[in-house]
């Protein structure tokens, strides 16, 4: 019995060591505390210096991502601190509030007060639009974790409210903020076709997971939307607006798992997205991205290293810690000169929802043109 417990402890310590090499010690520490839901105030461990910050941020959704990613980067790098948090799971809200030294409330309406200037939303996917509309209607800037909507009706309502308001709206699609993708955007030619292959080893999600609930938008909204959004971002300056779409399913009984989605534009761009989840990946979601355009080639290996080759020049870069763009994405409300155009996110969401509907119907081919929607 003692031997088994010892082996489990060693295994966990090895995992902590691996993660600290990928994400850095401080972030790994927070990830560990988030898993354990440590009910103690330890936010001082994360502060780079003892700086007094004003409380101007509220968070809706205190699950693992809200605890270990959004709150971590806000606490460590934003000019303000979190004031109030809310979650339908009171224990999640309480442990996050205790850890980061802020207040938790029992009703979401209590989040909205004069002191709060930015609302972060990291609740379950089906509620993102609802909470965002509450913020917009009250004139409060809002950061919506992906996806911004899971139905066309939600997206239309959000889009209308956004355009009728003067509120700033930001989204949590983070890959465009990674150092590797920012370099690609600087290097590519917007007038030539792109060939892109994205291979993703995603988490294994069991049948009872909340991602599986019909109202949450399937794994297309929960996972694949990240890379659909990345495709639109890479094409943003190219004026490409339509695609022929082909989908191959490994098993049509679970159509949003283990599938291949291919987009082809009229000018010859081809994007191939492969999502596989046969088993749990070794160190979280793993991504391999290959990009080819004329004499330009890029190989991004899990956002931990990348090679960039143009003509006979090659540059190899390592990213320590792993850089998938979370920090800059989360800090958009405070660095608006580098924030994404929300109209681009609306376009990528339209394409994502079209693919979601294809998957629900188990359709294998389709044609999408966001200008005609």
- The per-residue pLDDT for 16 is 60
Distance from C-alpha of 331 to C-alpha of 338, rounded to nearest angstrom: 10
Of 242, 201, 245, give the one whose Cα is nearest residue 223.
201
Of 112, 162, 163, give the one whose Cα is nearest residue 138.
112
Distance from C-alpha of 19 to C-alpha of 24, rounded to nearest angstrom: 7
- The per-residue pLDDT for 46 is 57
- Please name the residue ranges forming H helices in the chain: 2-23, 25-36, 64-65, 71-77, 90-100, 128-137, 152-164, 179-187, 218-219, 225-234, 326-330, 342-361
- The per-residue pLDDT for 209 is 83
- The per-residue pLDDT for 7 is 43
- Give the chain's end-to-end CA distance (angstroms, integer): 62
- The per-residue pLDDT for 181 is 98
Distance from C-alpha of 158 to C-alpha of 135, rounded to nearest angstrom: 11
Bridge pairing between strands 195-201 and 169-171: unpaired
Q: pTM for the whole thing?
A: 0.91
pLDDT tens string for the chain (373 positions)? 544 443 444 445 566 666 666 777 677 777 776 676 666 665 555 554 445 677 799 999 999 999 999 999 999 899 999 999 999 999 999 999 999 999 999 999 999 999 999 999 999 999 999 999 999 999 999 999 999 999 999 999 999 999 999 999 999 999 999 999 999 999 999 899 999 999 999 988 888 888 888 899 999 999 999 999 999 999 987 888 899 999 999 999 999 999 999 999 999 999 999 999 988 877 778 999 999 999 999 999 999 999 999 988 999 999 999 999 999 999 999 998 899 999 999 999 999 999 999 999 999 999 999 877 6
126 φ/ψ angles, rounded to the nearest 5 degrees: -65, -20
Helix (H, G, I), strand (E, B) or coil at 272: strand
Domains of the chain with bracketed CATH:
24-171 (3.40.50.720), 175-372 (3.30.360.10)
353 - beta bridge partners?
none
């Amino acid at each position: 019995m003692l031997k088994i417990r010892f082996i489990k402890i060693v295994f966990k310590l090895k995992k902590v060591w691996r993660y600290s090499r990928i994400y850095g010690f401080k972030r790994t520490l927070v990830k560990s505390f988030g898993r354990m839901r440590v009910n103690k105030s330890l936010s001082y461990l994360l502060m780079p210096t003892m700086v007094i910050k004003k409380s101007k941020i509220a968070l809706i959704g205190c699950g693992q991502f809200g605890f270990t990613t959004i709150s971590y980067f806000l606490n460590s790098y934003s000019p303000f601190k979190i004031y109030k948090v809310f979650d339908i799971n009171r224990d999640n809200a309480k442990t996050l509030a205790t850890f980061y030294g802020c207040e938790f409330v029992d009703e979401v309406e209590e989040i909205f007060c004069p002191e709060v200037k930015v609302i972060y939303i990291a609740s379950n996917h089906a509620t993102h639009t609802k909470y965002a509309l509450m913020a917009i209607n009250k004139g409060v800037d809002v950061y919506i974790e992906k996806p911004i909507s899971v139905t066309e009706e939600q997206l239309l309502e959000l889009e209308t409210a956004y355009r009728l308001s003067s509120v700033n709206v930001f989204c949590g699609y983070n890959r465009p903020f990674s150092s590797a993708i920012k370099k690609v955007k600087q290097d590519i030619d917007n007038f030539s076709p792109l060939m892109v292959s994205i291979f993703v080893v995603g988490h294994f999600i069991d049948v009872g997971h909340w991602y599986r609930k019909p109202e949450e938008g399937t794994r297309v909204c929960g996972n694949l939307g990240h890379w659909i959004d990345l495709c639109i971002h890479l094409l943003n300056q190219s004026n490409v607006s339509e695609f022929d779409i082909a989908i191959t399913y490994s098993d049509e009984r679970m159509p949003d798992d283990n599938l291949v989605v291919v987009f082809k534009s009229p000018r010859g761009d081809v994007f191939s997205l492969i999502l596989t989840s046969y088993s749990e990946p070794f160190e979280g979601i793993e991504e391999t991205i290959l990009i080819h355009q004329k004499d330009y080639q890029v190989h991004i290996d899990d956002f931990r290293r990348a090679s960039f080759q143009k003509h006979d020049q090659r540059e190899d870069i390592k990213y320590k810690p792993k850089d998938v763009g979370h920090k800059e994405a989360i800090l958009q409300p405070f660095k608006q000169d580098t924030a994404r155009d929300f109209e681009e996110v609306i376009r990528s969401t339209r394409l994502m929802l079209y693919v979601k509907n294809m998957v629900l119907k188990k359709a294998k081919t389709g044609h999408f043109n966001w200008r005609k929607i």
